[in-house]
Amino acid sequence: MKNVVVVGAGPAGASIAYLLANRGIAVTLVERRRDFAREFRGEILMPSGIEALQQLGLGDALAQTDSHAASDFALYMNSELIFTEKLDPEVFHGHPPLAISQPALLEAIVAKAEKLTTFTFVRGVSVKELVEDNGTITGVTIREDNRDRFLPADLVIGADGRNSVVRKHLDHGVTEKSPPMDIVWCKLPCPDDWPGLKAYVGRGHLLVAYHTWDHSLQLGWVILKGTFGELRNKGIEAWIEEMARHVSPDLASHLRTHSDAAEKPFLLDTVSDCVNGWSQPGVLLIGDAAHTMSPVGGQGVNIALRDAVVTANYLVPILNNSSTTVTEITSALHDIEKERRVEVDYIQNLQAKPPKIVLSRAWWGEPIRRLAGFALGTQQIRRKAAQGASAFPFGVRDVKLEV
């Protein structure tokens, strides 16, 4: 039997580890955190991600996870409402965007995997480095109880996120696609009647506010990279006040009333890039380790889950065959990248567009935003814009599990 080590139990790593183990392949999943709740994790699942989970046999894990389905989307520009749109479940193939507790989802996936005799979970332990023999990766070294331990593998899957050690080992270089922005991320109590997602665009700022799985109001304040330092020195109340100046009067009043209750505000450095070559003999990168996704359009978790489906399609047949050679596995790794690059490139390019307009401080920024706001007030143009951005909810092409 072939043996796989998966590095990192985020959405990409936990789901591919479960699927391979479920198909009879020996899998060791290594996760550096003891507790999934400690790290920031994206929370919005799109229909594409929900469908991927269901195909992977993880629909029950999702059903156990706390969630909140968005019922409406509203866009404001310079504090004025441009439109409110109902998020009709039928339009979203029965799955409107869902705010979930990602830590709870990951716990449910690994709990399900741990019932399989082919699955081993090593938790609270970091992969330190990859071990190579004549250009082929033969396993990883983990640091456990102050001692290094070698885990041999026919294949290492690096699903260890944006600061991946596996990516560093490959050293294939990256293509940067990063829009120049940062996000201030914090939670407040949720107003009683907050329906789903509201976006406030205005003068070089964007505030996104959504109803979370735990019935809080999650704020994501998108700002130009490097502009937060000044405000941070002035303290939380100063930047809550700055946000309040760019939103509708009802939210401004809510922000001012609850500024004392702002929970764990922190700055997230956003990155968007893609590694130039996701594999080498014995190793494959997937998820953010291969292509770090920006937060625009809530895509990263969904893309990571769809990577897992495609990876399984190629790997299950060949890893179940004990006589498969390294060359055959390497060829499958190239095919996985080739298939996934189409969607990843398309979506990363789509994600780069809105920040360029929304955050622009060039002379043309404000007139373009006003024009866009005016146009989006018309239902017909809104429909066209939704078609142009349909890759966000549905992906670029059908991704179906075939194994």
Ligand X SMILES: Cc1cc2nc3c(=O)[nH]c(=O)nc-3n(C[C@H](O)[C@H](O)[C@H](O)COP(=O)(O)OP(=O)(O)OC[C@H]3O[C@@H](n4cnc5c(N)ncnc54)[C@H](O)[C@@H]3O)c2cc1C
Q: Is 330 in the site for ligand X (CB under 6 A)?
A: no
12 makes contact with ligand X (CB under 6 A): yes
Q: What are phi and psi of 217, to 5 degrees?
A: -105, 110
Min. distance of Cβ 391 from ligand X in angstroms? 13
From 56, 62, 53, select the one nearest 21 (Cα to Cα). Answer: 56
**300-319 vs 11-22: helix crossing angle, rounded to 10:** 30
Q: By CB under 6 A, which span of 29-37, 78-86, 275-283, 363-371 interacts with ligand X?
A: 29-37
Interaction between residue 160 and ligand X (CB under 6 A): yes
Could you tell me the sign of the dihedral formed by the alpha carbons of 52, 57, 61, 66, in that order? Answer: positive
Per rule CB under 6 A, is residue 351 in the interface with ligand X? no
**Which whole-number Å values give the CA distances from 224 to 181, 185, 246, 356, in the listed order?**
4, 14, 15, 10
For 185, the token pair is 């991320």
Q: Which amino acid is at 187?
A: K
- Amino acid 278 reads W
Closest to ligand X by CB, 61 vs 165, is 165
Q: Does 11 bind ligand X (CB under 6 A)?
A: yes
* Part of the chain binding ligand X (CB under 6 A), chosen from 25-33, 169-177, 233-241, 376-384: 25-33
Q: Shortest Cβ distance from residue 261 to ligand X (Å)?
A: 21
Task: Tell me if 103 contacts ligand X by CB under 6 A.
Answer: no
Taken as a whole, the chain contains a residue count of: 403
Where are any strands of DSSP class E within 25-95? 26-31, 44-45, 67-69, 72-77, 80-86
Nearer to ligand X, 225 or 370 (CB): 225
Q: x/- binding map, residues 240-269, to ligand X, per CB under 6 A?
A: ----------------------------x-
User: Which strand (E) or helix (H) includes residue 335?
Assistant: helix 326-358
Residue 295 or 373 having the CB closest to ligand X: 295
Q: How far is the CB of 163 from ligand X (least distance, A)?
A: 6
Position 170 contacts ligand X (CB under 6 A): no
CB-based closest residue to ligand X: 300
Q: Does 343 contact ligand X by CB under 6 A? A: no
Q: At what angle do helices 300-319 and 47-55 cross, to 10 degrees?
A: 30
Site string for ligand X, 289-318 (x = CB under 6 A): x---x-x--xxxxx-x--------------
* 30-38, 223-231, 313-321, 370-378 -> range binding ligand X (CB under 6 A): 30-38
- Decide if residue 28 touches ligand X (CB under 6 A): no
Out of 70, 110, 183, 255, the only residue in the binding site for ligand X (CB under 6 A) is 183
Q: Minimum distance from CB of 270 to ligand X (Å)?
A: 5
Which lies closer to ligand X via its Cβ, residue 226 or residue 256?
226
**96 touching ligand X, by CB under 6 A:** no
> How many other β-carbons are positioned within 10 Å of the β-carbon of residue 193?
7
Instruction: Give the separation between CA 299 and CA 123, rounded to whole angstroms.
Output: 26
By beta-carbon proximity to ligand X, the closer residue of 251 and 290 is 290
Phi, psi of 60 (to 5 degrees): -70, -35
DSSP per-residue string spanning 251-304 = HHHHHHHTGGG-EEEEEEE---EEES--EETTEEE-GGGTSPPPTTTT-HHHHH
Q: Does 288 bind ligand X (CB under 6 A)?
A: yes
Q: What are the φ/ψ torsions at residue 269 (nearest 5 degrees)? A: -80, 115
Of residues 126 and 259, the one with the C-beta less far from ligand X: 126
Site for ligand X contains 100 (CB under 6 A): no
10 contacts ligand X (rule: CB under 6 A): yes
Task: Please list, residue by residue across 211-239, b when 16 or more beta carbons sit within 10 angstroms of its beta carbon and e when fewer do.
Answer: bbbeebbbbbbbbbeeebeebeeeeeeeb
User: If binding is defined by CB under 6 A, does position 51 make contact with ligand X?
Assistant: no
Rounded least distance, CB 374 to ligand X, Å: 29
Element (H, E) at 177: none
> By C-beta, is 69 or 375 nearer to ligand X?
69
Of the candidates 96, 161, 373, 395, which one interacts with ligand X according to CB under 6 A? 161
Contacts to ligand X by CB under 6 A: 7-13, 30-33, 39, 41-44, 126-127, 159-161, 165, 183, 185, 268, 270, 287-289, 293, 295, 298-302, 304
